[in-house]
Structure 1
Amino acid sequence: MTKIKNFAELAYLLGLIILALGVALMEKADLGISMVVAPAYLISLKVSSLTFGMAEYTLQAVLLVVLFLVLRRFKLSYCFSFVTAVIYGVILDSWIRILNDVAADALSIRIPLYLAGMLLCSMGISLLFHTYLSPEVYELFVKEVSKKYHININKFKIGYDCTSCVVAIAMSYLFFGGLRGVGIGTVICALVNGIIIGQCSKFLEKYIDFSPKLPLAKYFD
């Protein structure tokens, strides 16, 4: 079977666009935001001057510092993940504005929105895992820490997601005295997101060659 070739750069662009759309759909469904972005979402609800996208790249800047401490090394290429986070944040806020007028009151609409959002998030993350260009700090953290400590990336992703879910629940009670932005959808996503990403990766690798088209890979080693 002939594969689509030299897809690395397109995987980066499509990954960001698809991931941001998935998060925006889950936010619109209001059944529980993805656990990975839930802390940033709660911060945006608490601090009115921050949009969801702005809270995302602010929190990812903090996580990037944590990554440097965990790996005990500094790589300039890692800093491009913050650039990616800013681009993603702008795209996310744009999708949220586009979906603003979409009516999602009925559960019969919210459930499909949630399911589509979760699938798109998994697909977007899988695409970002397959590009040499710096992914968001969330994905970079999972990718680099699992590689350093020789942990299966999909299993580590599940553990990371579950930890993010617990942190989000704690933040929700601390900020609002109850659950906000965190729901049954968050728990479901935490349990199955890593599995779906693994299946998406198998599907993509069957049809796509993720080798680079541009001579930029050496700058991201």
Structure 2
Amino acid sequence: MKITQRYCFFAVGLFFMGFGISLTAKSELGNSPISSVPYVLSLGFPLTLGTFTILLLSVFILIQVLLLGKNFPPIQFIQLALAPLLGICIDFGMVLASFIKPSTLLEQLTLLLLGCLFVAIGVYIQVEAKTVMNAGEAIVKVLSEITKIEFGTMKMIFDWSLVAIGVLFSFLLFGELRGIGIGTIISAFLVGFLIKGIRKLIGTRRFHTKKEDA
């Protein structure tokens, strides 16, 4: 795959992820883990979910630099340019999904599951594109490599950490829980599980294709 195709592939993954985050938010069951902190902050301050996402991703880039030190590849600073793109995708996704108003629990759960699936597909595409990853996934990859923990498993651990921070901010700002609910908890488990499933499914298909070609 040519470099141009890889970045186009990556852009598609970024859109999938942003739209998935938006669908999860529209489920009204709680935002996705990656957006739990930005969403809580957006409820307390006059900035959009996408804007706070950009700020959080910038923090993730700083953490990567601190963890890797001299081993941090300079090309990875491109993440600073990609962070605004994800923020824009999230806010654009919120606009696209603005007409969605779930009225039943079944509709809410359906939106939540679709949102999780879109996020998982987006993450998988970005990893497989083998370009510069967005900071939200790049930091998981760095932590996975440092700890030797499988990417999907580390994704779940990382998501739970974000949820905990979101809960803390919620109580500090409002004295109660806002922006985080059962949907957040489900997403924390489900997205990592779906990533594992997608990787196994695609890997199996590749294996069978190679056997048939042989």
TM-score, length-scaled by structure 2: 0.87
Q: Which runs of 5+ in 1 are unaligned?
A: 209-221
Q: Say if 1:33 and 1:182, in contact at 8 Å, map to a contact too.
A: yes
**Are 1:27 and 2:1 an aligned pair?**
no
Matches within 5 A, 1:1-221: 8-48=6-46, 50-73=47-70, 74-206=72-204
Alpha carbon RMSD of aligned pairs, Å? 2.0
* Mapped partners of 1:9, 1:59: distance in 2: 23
Whose helix fraction is larger, Structure 1's or Structure 2's? 2
Quote the offset at 1:152 in angstroms: 1.8
Divergent runs of 4+, >4 A: none
More displaced 10-residue stretch of structure 1: 193-202 or 18-27: 193-202
Quote the offset at 1:33 in angstroms: 0.8
More displaced 10-residue stretch of structure 1: 20-29 or 104-113: 104-113
Quote the offset at 1:191 in angstroms: 2.1
Paired letter, 1:151: I
Q: Say if 2:160 and 2:188, in contact at 8 Å, map to a contact too.
A: yes
Q: Say if 1:71 and 1:145, in contact at 8 Å, map to a contact too.
A: no
Quote the offset at 1:207 in angstroms: 5.1
* Mapped partners of 1:139, 1:88: distance in 2: 12
Paired letter, 1:193: V
Paired letter, 2:55: T
Quote the offset at 1:34 in angstroms: 0.9
User: Matched residue of 1:17: which SS?
Assistant: helix
Quote the offset at 1:157 in angstroms: 1.5
Quote the offset at 1:206 in angstroms: 4.5
Paired letter, 1:17: F
* Mapped partners of 1:16, 1:58: distance in 2: 17
Q: Kindly tell me: are residues 80 and 128 of structure 1, through their superposed partners in 2, closer, same or farther at Cα, counting changes over 3 Å?
A: same
Q: Say if 1:15 and 1:125, in contact at 8 Å, map to a contact too.
A: yes
Q: Kindly tell me: are residues 100 and 206 of structure 1, through their superposed partners in 2, closer, same or farther at Cα, counting changes over 3 Å?
A: same
Deviations, residues 154-192 of structure 1 (Å, cap 9, x unaligned): 221121111111111111111111111100111111123
Paired letter, 1:37: S
Paired letter, 1:40: P
* Mapped partners of 1:102, 1:188: distance in 2: 20
* Mapped partners of 1:149, 1:113: distance in 2: 34
Quote the offset at 1:14 in angstroms: 1.5
Q: Say if 2:9 and 2:126, in contact at 8 Å, map to a contact too.
A: yes
